[in-house]
Chains A and B, each alone.
Chain A
Amino acid sequence: MRGRTRGPAEGIRAHYGGSLAHLVLVLCSFALACYAGLRLLRGDTLGIVIWFVGAALLHDLVLLPLYTVTDRLAQRLFRDRRGKKPRSRDTAGGSRPVTGRVNYIRVPAFLALLLLLVWYPLVLGRVPGFTAYTGLPADVFWGRWLLITVAFFAASAACLLVTMWRARPRRDRAGR
């Protein structure tokens, strides 16, 4: 795409693996990062490095694997439960995949956990000075989060019931 370099630039490309423009831009960004980073790291240097790098590692190596595995388990549960009864339809191919039902758990769980992830200090009451600072009660968030979570799952269950109810008559008609 941007490989129109010729002549001496070829040498850079051969050794560096990319264009001169790439090298220059990346080095500029590193210079900025060093300039700001030296200031960022004043004070509790180790703590800040741990927070900066740790944020990435925690997300990539803990949070993401954790929710991936949880999601796989949820899918498995759904598959197993369905598998006992009409296995034939699982393999029927053309019809809608049974595992789509897992989304009726997945979506409300995602929304509820997302809210918890963002607002966990308040929801889990981890901010001791909250009331002293703001004059607002701190004990309402847990109950609200639970109610919101219940509402998500209830709405999801309602959607599932509607879907099942809609699907059933057609099948009956087809059967007759």
Chain B
Amino acid sequence: MITLGVLRPICRIRWLCVAVTVRWPPEGMDVEGSDRGDEPRRPEPHTPDGNAGGSPSERDGQTGKGRPDPDRQKGSGPPPRAGAAKRPADGPTGRPPKSAQATPAQRPAGAPGRPTARWSSPPPGPARPGFWRSPLRGPWLTSVFGLVLLLGITVLFVTGLLSYAAYNPNLAPGNDHTPEKGWLGFYLFPWPTRPYWLYRLTQGVHVTLGVVLIPVLLAKLWSVIPRLFAWPPLRSPRHALERLSLLLLVGGVLFEFVTGVLNIQLHYIFPGSFYPLHFYGAWVFIGAFVVHVVFRIPTMATALRSRRWRTELRTPAARTRPEPPDDTGLVTPDPAPPTMSRRGALGMVGAGSLVLLVVTAGQSIGGALRRTALLAPHGREPGTGPNGFQINKTAAAVGIRARDIGPDWRLVVRGPGQERSFTREQVLALPQHMAALPIACVEGWSTDDQIWSGVRLHDLAALVGLRESPPGVFVESAQRSGSFNSAHLRDNQVRDPRALLALRVNGADLSVDHGYPARIIVPANPGVHNTKWVTRLTFGAPR
């Protein structure tokens, strides 16, 4: 029956139109603003204290088994709800909820059968309030998920912006994968080289947290699905704008999560380059996110205060009751018997996040924990020995040929008016320095600190006459294709004593896959800017 109820309306064009134009959550949560446009004014929500949360008895989940009074539902929702009207037999009118809220005196007068100007009644299906029957849906549960997402997505956005800055896109066009960014790069700053683990931390958090938030996001979307089908679909200009904004919100958040999750698995099926998609997508999303947060925070705060955590965590499924009916449209007027408590639902979502954390975080944390990242792409080491750490792209994958890195390989170092060429032996004869640095990838994985040895970049600058305050450097690779066969490094990166043109790692020559004959390693630099198979360094290159 329920099954058919879900499937039947899919055939209805009218319903599909709703689905396309409509977005979701808690509109109507805002008492003052939402529903007062050109529509017939609906009654104020009638909680005695103006608190959506209901009486203490309901908070404790101890209210009787009574379903919410359907008459009251009609009054409190946006215009009359046919779903409620359709089920008079269900309505326990003779068994009103015990809470003080629902006393007949507080019912809106004249609610039943009130005619509406334009929309007679919702079509059968998900637009009817009784269609969605989970007794768990309600403003409190939605707000818990919303609070987690508010904090989590804020961290994701900030770490994402940091990652963008880490590429130094303003330094030179070659570094910029989003050259049209305009004002969206307003905040950019020279990316520092210390602490040396900075990018490892920020990007590890970005990717791991993103993965861990997926079940919370899914739960949040589940909890507000009735609002997608709210009837009438458009009540006022404000409502229309809100729904458009919600399309940007939900489409945006899913677009960001999907492109991110696919990219870290090297599954490049999205329509274009990852960088512009994920970057501009984030900016499209964040405006709608801010609007949503600003206008929902009061509702969220009220809803969170409406129930006590301690009580919620002690309430088993058998004693779980729906949240008190209110004007959010989230609480079903026709609840199914509970099969899970709120604590169970939160626990299940939390377990989902925990499991994802366990099978993912190891690829960022490294060490012994790497092996716990059972499903993450970089959960094992590709080999043993000094070069047995993570590889981003192998030499074969980017078309490095034997002769590119054979005996004929030369390192060309250019400065203003000077150019010098070195064989590998000559580079090895220059003063060698060591640095313990990780490789940290935009995909969220990273290596432990590796002991690199090679020539300091500022020593190389001195060889072409740039002894004092060397400028930035343009690094080119033998790699012919790929967007990261060259990179510009900023002067602060060149000047860091740990910034090396590395020839050896962990006491051995670099392997071909790690950039033999020579590669760049700079503290806190995104992995792809630690160019491998380096052939030419141009200090003070024109930008």
Which of A's residues lie within 8 Å of B, judged by CB?
1-3, 13-19, 22-23, 25-33, 35-37, 39-40, 42-44, 47-48, 50-53, 55-57, 59-61, 64-65, 68-69, 72-73, 75, 95-97, 99-100, 102-103, 106-107, 110-111, 114-115, 117-119, 121-123, 126-127, 129-130, 132-137, 140-141, 144-145, 148
CA distance A145 to B374 in the complex (A): 8
A142 nearest CB across to chain B (Å): 10
A130 cross-chain contacts in B, Cβ below 8 A: 265-266, 377
Nearest residue (CB) in A for B390 is: A134
Is A17's CB under 8 angstroms from B36's CB?
Answer: yes
Is A29's CB under 8 angstroms from B288's CB?
Answer: yes
Is A127's CB under 8 angstroms from B214's CB?
Answer: no
Residues of B within 8 Å of A, CB-based: how many?
104
Would A22 and B247 be within 8 Å (CB), given that A69-B6, A118-B211 are in contact? no
CA distance A3 to B241 in the complex (A): 18
Q: Which of B330-353 contact A (CB under 8 A)?
A: 337-340, 344, 348, 351-352
Is A42's CB under 8 angstroms from B291's CB?
Answer: no
B364 nearest CB across to chain A (Å): 15
A114 cross-chain contacts in B, Cβ below 8 A: 214-215, 218, 352, 355-356
Interface check B110, CB cutoff 8 A: no
Is B211's CB under 8 angstroms from A18's CB?
Answer: no
A129 cross-chain contacts in B, Cβ below 8 A: 266, 397
Q: Which of B180-188, B492-500, B532-540 contacts A (4 or more CB under 8 A)?
A: B180-188
Is B288's CB under 8 angstroms from A118's CB?
Answer: no
Is A1's CB under 8 angstroms from B355's CB?
Answer: no
Which of B's residues lie within 8 Å of A, judged by CB?
2-3, 6-7, 10, 19-20, 23-24, 30-39, 178, 180-184, 211, 214-215, 218, 221-222, 225, 228, 235-239, 241-242, 244-245, 247-248, 250-252, 254-255, 258-259, 261-262, 265-267, 270-273, 276-277, 280-281, 283-284, 286-288, 290-291, 294-295, 298, 316-318, 337-340, 344, 348, 351-352, 355-356, 359, 374-378, 380, 382-383, 390-394, 396-397, 513
Nearest residue (CB) in A for B395 is: A135
Question: Which one of A64, A126, A134 has the greatest number of beta carbons of chain B within 10 Å?
Answer: A134
B249 nearest CB across to chain A (Å): 9
Is A52's CB under 8 angstroms from B251's CB?
Answer: yes
Would A95 and B318 be within 8 Å (CB), given that A39-B180, A130-B377 are in contact? yes
A97 nearest CB across to chain B (Å): 6
Is B394's CB under 8 angstroms from A96's CB?
Answer: no
B156 nearest CB across to chain A (Å): 15
B241 cross-chain contacts in A, Cβ below 8 A: 23, 26-27, 30
CA distance A29 to B294 in the complex (A): 12
